[in-house]
């Protein structure tokens, strides 16, 4: 039945796209629906060729309402003859290179269907990227997208509060795992912190609420890696906010940080006992397992340094008849690894499954957007828009560092949000002059 509903929904997307093309407000509703659909992602996604018990980064050929709405937005752009180029930016080019360098791993994959599941996910992620670029290109409405993301954050925070009072120790909101939630919320926390520094309380109360909510989500997950990244997110964001601020605005930034710091210290004091407990009672076996799985990844890389052992084939190659786990145990002082576990770093996972060239391409893709954040913070300085790259710089640094401890950046929802933010950054980069002119015009009208 669910497959019949899916195909009916798919058939309705082209006419929906045509309808959306007639009215910019309807397109705004569509992007809000696409972001809002992430809140029900788990319930609306359909897995073709589903293997729910498989321990890998993809367990099926997943399609969700998020992708369908992205397709509708692209249809609207095509109907208005505003469809973005297939490769509209250097960052998109690097993603395509990364994607292509993952394909040689099919030659060493034990199960190419599992490889296709991950490949399909990468294609769908690019669909999301293009749809956000198309939406922004048609409407030029950056603030609407930011507001939709703010509402998404607040909804997660409300779910966290509900779970807290229900006795859930590590709630995860709409995400599949608390570490997924925590890593995603770093991006939001950085961006909305920068928005607050740029505009204060009065400019947008929604941004301030989203900042508090995203920070609260990170802390309440009790994810050790995510909590350790909080000072880094806010420090980098604060520094970049100086770069993004207008001349003479430095004192105002400091004055806005002081009350926020006092509130933050109060909240930290209230939660400190539980945070200390989380760090103090972490099982030693968890650390040993991480080390041993990293050694397994090392053995895989030594065997297949250029092609990897097969994209999304870790869950197969870690078990018998393959000897990677046994080889790692012989080189270590412990033997506690779960044979169905995944190496707890996205960098080793990509390198093991797809080879060194794919890892280098992924790192180049990641770093491209971090550099772009720095460049845009300077180019858009003195405008509202500068807060977006300034905050995302802090969030991206935290995510990239946390990825040494987690493989979350191969999870579907986290990558969808990453694509949304990357599309937003590319739109800002392509429209610096017009965005600055818009701000000057608005300032003149208000002055």
pLDDT average, residue stretch 101-129:
96
pLDDT digits (tens, 9 = 90+) for 208-229: 899 989 998 988 888 777 888 8
Please tell me what DSSP assigns to residue 110: S
CA 178 – CA 170 distance, rounded (Å)? 6
CA 240 – CA 246 distance, rounded (Å)? 12
Say what percent of the chain tops pLDDT 70: 84
Residues sharing a CB contact under 8 Å with residue 44, sequence separation 6 or more, in sequence order: 37, 64, 65, 66
Q: What is the pTM of this model?
A: 0.92
| C-alpha count within 13 angstroms, C-beta hemisphere, residue 442 | 10
The 3-class secondary structure across 368-433, one letter per residue, is HHHHHHHHHHHHCCCCHHHHHHHHHHHHHHHHHHHCCCCCHHHCHHHHHHHHHHHHHHHHHHHCHH
Instruction: Reply yes or no on whether the pLDDT at 262 is more than 80.
Output: no
Lowest mean pLDDT among 245-249, 362-366, 386-390, 397-401: 245-249
Per DSSP, what are the bridge partners of residue 246? Answer: none
How confident is residue 334, by pLDDT bands cut at 50, 70 and 90?
A: very low
CA 433 – CA 431 distance, rounded (Å)? 6
Contact assessment for residue 349 and residue 343, using Cβ atoms and an 8 Å cutoff: yes
Residues sharing a CB contact under 8 Å with residue 211, sequence separation 6 or more, in sequence order: 188, 189, 192, 193, 195, 196
CA 317 – CA 339 distance, rounded (Å)? 10
CA 86 – CA 127 distance, rounded (Å)? 10
pLDDT average, residue stretch 376-387:
90
Q: Is residue 307 packed enough to be buried (19+ CB in 10 Å), middle (13-18) or exposed (0-12)?
A: buried
Top pLDDT among 47 and 134 is at 134
């Amino acid at each position: 039945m669910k497959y019949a509903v899916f195909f009916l929904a798919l058939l309705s997307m082209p006419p929906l796209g045509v309808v959306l093309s007639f009215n910019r407000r309807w397109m705004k509703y569509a992007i809000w629906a696409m972001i809002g659909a992430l809140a029900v992602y788990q319930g609306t996604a359909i897995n073709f060729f589903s293997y729910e018990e498989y321990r890998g980064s993809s367990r099926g050929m997943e399609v969700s309402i998020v992708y369908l709405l992205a397709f509708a937005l692209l249809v609207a752009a095509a109907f208005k003859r505003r469809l973005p180029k297939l490769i509209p930016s250097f960052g998109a080019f690097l993603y395509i290179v990364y994607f292509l360098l993952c394909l040689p791993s099919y030659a060493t994959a034990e199960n190419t269907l599992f490889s296709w599941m991950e490949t399909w996910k990468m294609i769908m992620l690019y669909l999301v990227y293009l749809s956000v670029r198309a939406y922004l290109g048609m409407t030029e409405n950056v603030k609407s997208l930011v507001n939709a993301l703010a509402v998404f954050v607040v909804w997660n925070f409300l779910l966290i509060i509900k779970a807290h009072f229900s006795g859930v120790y590590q709630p995860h909101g709409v995400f599949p795992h608390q570490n997924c939630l925590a890593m995603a919320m770093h991006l939001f926390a950085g961006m909305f912190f920068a928005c607050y520094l740029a505009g204060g309380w009065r400019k947008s109360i929604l941004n301030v609420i989203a900042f508090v909510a995203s920070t609260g989500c990170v802390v309440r997950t009790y994810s050790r890696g995510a909590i350790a990244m909080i000072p880094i997110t806010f420090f980098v964001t604060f520094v970049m906010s100086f770069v993004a601020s207008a001349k003479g605005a430095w004192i105002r930034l400091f004055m806005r940080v002081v009350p926020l710091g006092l509130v933050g210290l109060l909240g930290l004091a209230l939660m400190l006992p539980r945070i200390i407990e989380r760090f103090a009672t972490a099982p030693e076996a968890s650390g040993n397992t991480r080390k041993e799985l990293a050694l397994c990844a090392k053995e895989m890389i030594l065997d297949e340094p250029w092609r990897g052992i097969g994209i999304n084939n870790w869950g197969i190659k870690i078990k018998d008849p393959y000897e990677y786990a046994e080889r790692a145990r012989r080189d270590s002082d412990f033997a506690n690894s779960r044979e169905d576990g995944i190496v707890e770093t996205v960098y080793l996972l990509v390198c093991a499954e797809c080879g060194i060239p794919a890892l280098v391409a992924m790192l180049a893709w990641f770093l491209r957007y971090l550099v772009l954040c720095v460049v845009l913070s300077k180019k858009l300085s003195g405008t509202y828009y500068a807060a977006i790259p300034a905050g995302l710089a802090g969030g991206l640094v935290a995510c990239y560092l946390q990825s040494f401890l987690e493989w979350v950046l191969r999870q579907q929802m986290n990558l969808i949000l990453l694509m949304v933010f990357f599309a937003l950054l590319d739109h800002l980069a392509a429209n610096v002059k017009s965005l600055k002119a818009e701000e000057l015009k608005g300032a003149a009208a208000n002055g």
